[in-house]
């Protein structure tokens, strides 16, 4: 009977412990409760950090896609401004071509063609294009590409640009084409 009483007492204690656990008032020592709560907290922190990481990666992927798309659009339309500004010059070229076929007066034709040339130069200058002045200047490998060297007519022209085969250009003060020149030696 004593054995039965002890089993009954154990069962009663187990039920009491179970009820206390459900109610949150466990008589078990605090040491056992802390690691479980700490582990749960760490798991929650890891889950939160993982969520933040996944969101950040998704946001970064979206950023890359968006900037890539914008860059492609920019490249495709980069020359649009220049092309639109040159359309007026193209219209003038068409009118000049019609006048060349109709008119016999060479002086008027030259004036018309010169107007078209001046308009294209001013349009390009308004977009930041500047022609490089090379003739008579010292030869500079940063600006010039020497095609050939010829004997200089006098000592002052040695090492200087004597003739310009192809003009060099700057776009917004950055060189975009080197001048091809003849240098005196």
String of DSSP letters for the chain: -HHHHHHHHHHHHHHHHHHHHHHT---S-HHHHHHHHHHHHHHHHHHHHHHHHHHHHHHHHHHHHHHHHHHHHHHHHTTHHHHHHHHHHHHHHHHHHHHHHH---HHHHHHHHHHHHHHHHHHHHHTTEEEPP-TTSBP-TTTEEEEEEE--SSGGGTTBEEEEEE--EEETTEEEEPEEEEEE-
Q: Which CATH number fits the domain that encloses residue 166?
A: 2.30.22.10
* Domain shared by 177 and 137, yes or no: yes
| Domain assignment of residue 117, yes or no | yes
* Domain shared by 121 and 172, yes or no: no
Provide the whole-model pTM. Answer: 0.56
Query: Would the pLDDT of 8 be above 90?
Result: no
- Whole domain around residue 44: which residue ranges? 36-78
Kindly report, residue by residue over 47-69, the tens digit of the pLDDT. 999 999 999 999 999 999 999 99
Kindly report, residue by residue over 112-148, the tens digit of the pLDDT. 889 999 999 999 999 889 999 999 899 988 999 999 9
* Domain shared by 109 and 96, yes or no: yes
The share of the chain scoring above pLDDT 90, in percent, equals 41
Higher pLDDT among residues 9 and 175, named by residue: 175
* Domain shared by 158 and 107, yes or no: no
Query: Would the pLDDT of 14 be above 80?
Result: no
């Amino acid at each position: 009977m004593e054995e039965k009483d002890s089993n009954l007492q154990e069962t009663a204690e187990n039920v009491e412990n179970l009820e206390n656990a459900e109610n949150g008032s466990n008589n078990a020592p605090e040491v056992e409760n802390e690691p479980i709560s700490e582990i749960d907290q760490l798991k929650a922190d890891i889950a939160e950090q993982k969520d933040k990481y996944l969101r950040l990666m998704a946001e970064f992927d979206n950023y890359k896609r968006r900037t890539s798309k914008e860059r492609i659009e920019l490249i495709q339309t980069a020359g649009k401004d220049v092309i639109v500004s040159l359309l007026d010059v193209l219209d003038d070229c068409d009118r000049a071509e019609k006048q060349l076929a109709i008119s016999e007066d060479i002086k008027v034709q030259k004036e018309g063609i010169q107007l078209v040339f001046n308009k294209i130069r001013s349009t390009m200058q308004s977009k930041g294009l500047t022609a490089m002045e090379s003739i008579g200047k010292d030869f500079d490998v940063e600006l010039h590409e020497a095609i050939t060297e010829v004997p200089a007519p006098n000592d002052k022209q040695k090492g200087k640009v004597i003739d310009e085969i192809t003009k060099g250009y700057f776009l917004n003060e950055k060189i975009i084409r080197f001048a091809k020149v003849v240098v005196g030696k």
